[in-house]
Amino acid sequence: MPSQLQIAKNILKGIEEREFIKIGKTRCKNEDQTKQFLIIPFMDLLGYSYMDLIPEYDAGYDGKKGKRVDFAIKLGKKEPEIIIECKKYGVNLDKHTDQLNEYFENTSNSKIGILTNGFEYRFYASRDKHPMMHDNPFFTFEIGDDDMSSIKDLARYHKSFIDVNSIVEEANEIIFLRQFNEAMFLELSNPSRDFVKNIYDKMGLGSRMTSDMEIKIGEMINVQSFKDATDRMVAELAAKGSGIVTTKEELHAYNIIRTLIVQSREISSERIAYQDRKRVFSIVVDNNQRKNICDIVINKKGKSISVGSFKTSFKNVDDLVKLKKKLIDRALTHI
């Protein structure tokens, strides 16, 4: 069986050879032509022959018969696990997410939904409570994107390599972290009264918060106050007397990894700590160097993470989420 990297290289070569963008502009004037000349050949690169793609699969909803999703893929199961809704080349996909969601809800076993116009492929995942689909895609691929990390992500959907349950689990983790970051941003950019009152209570003034005081504190919650608080946290968390300053990127990675590990519910967040040394940032159990979970190196050359003997580079939150199982398994060996 070829490796994920080899599959990725084959996909990239196939995309370059088939000239999808040129064909899209010259031969795809409607949805059927887009399916024929772009989408079916693209799925072929992912290992799915025309026989794997069940056309016009019944996905009626609200008592409406005749509603059919363009393609369904069963992956050896009785019911489809992947459904694909196709639009004409170049069409804005933003207006068609609801349609895919309605089809998704009415194909009882579907776990991955793909919305595409032959140029852009948006991948959606089922929520924890099926058959609801997340409103936003967890992965998007555009023809012409030759970044190998994106191609490797795409290779995970190859017929010979795909693990639907693993993909959906990771997708939910990615979306959870995105929603957390968005909620944090919204709360800090427009503080709620509860947030303001919590700060007031911690100020220890001892009196009831007046409306004038609420307004005053609200105005003080700004970018500068966030920076002051963050700088103080970084300074206090730095190793005393070592001359080492823990960076925001390192703390961000630590918080993400800690969040992923504690979701196993077999280890509490209080036991996950970090140790910052001159050349490496380590995440450990019980603040014990011998109970190492992973080592992170962030420098001018890039970012890398080592989990035991496994080492890889990473760029963002999504890359760390993909290591969830390795991180949890490694942490659990120390408890």
pLDDT per position as a tens digit, 21-43:
999 999 999 999 999 999 999 99
Domain of residue 324 covers: 229-335
What angle, rounded to 10 degrees, do the helices at 248-262 and 164-189 form? 130
Whether residue 41 is found in the same domain as residue 134: yes
The domain boundary, picked from 164, 196, 211, lies at: 164
**What integer is the mean pLDDT of 301-318?**
90
pLDDT of residue 72: 96
- Average pLDDT of the residues of the chain: 89
Q: Assess whether pLDDT exceeds 90 at residue 188.
A: no
Q: Compute CA distances 264 → 122, 169, 268, 290, whole Å.
A: 29, 13, 9, 21
Whether 178 is covered by a domain: the verdict is: no
Mean pLDDT on 314-335: 89
Structural domains in the chain (count) = 2
| Arithmetic mean of pLDDT, 57-68 | 73
- 33 shares its domain with 159: yes
CATH of the domain at 63: 3.90.1570.30
**200 lies in some domain:** no
Answer whether residue 97 is part of any domain. yes
Last residue of a domain, one of 164, 180, 196: 164
Q: Write down which residue in 145, 164, 183 finishes a domain.
A: 164
Look at residues 59, 50, 84, 80 and name the one whose alpha carbon lies nearest to residue 70. Answer: 84
Q: Is residue 192 part of a domain?
A: no
Residue range 210-231, pLDDT digits in tens: 999 999 999 898 888 887 887 7
Q: Check whether residue 141 and residue 245 sit in a common domain.
A: no
Confidence of residue 243 (pLDDT cuts 50, 70, 90): low
What's the pLDDT tens digit per position in 122-153? 999 998 766 689 999 999 999 999 888 889 89
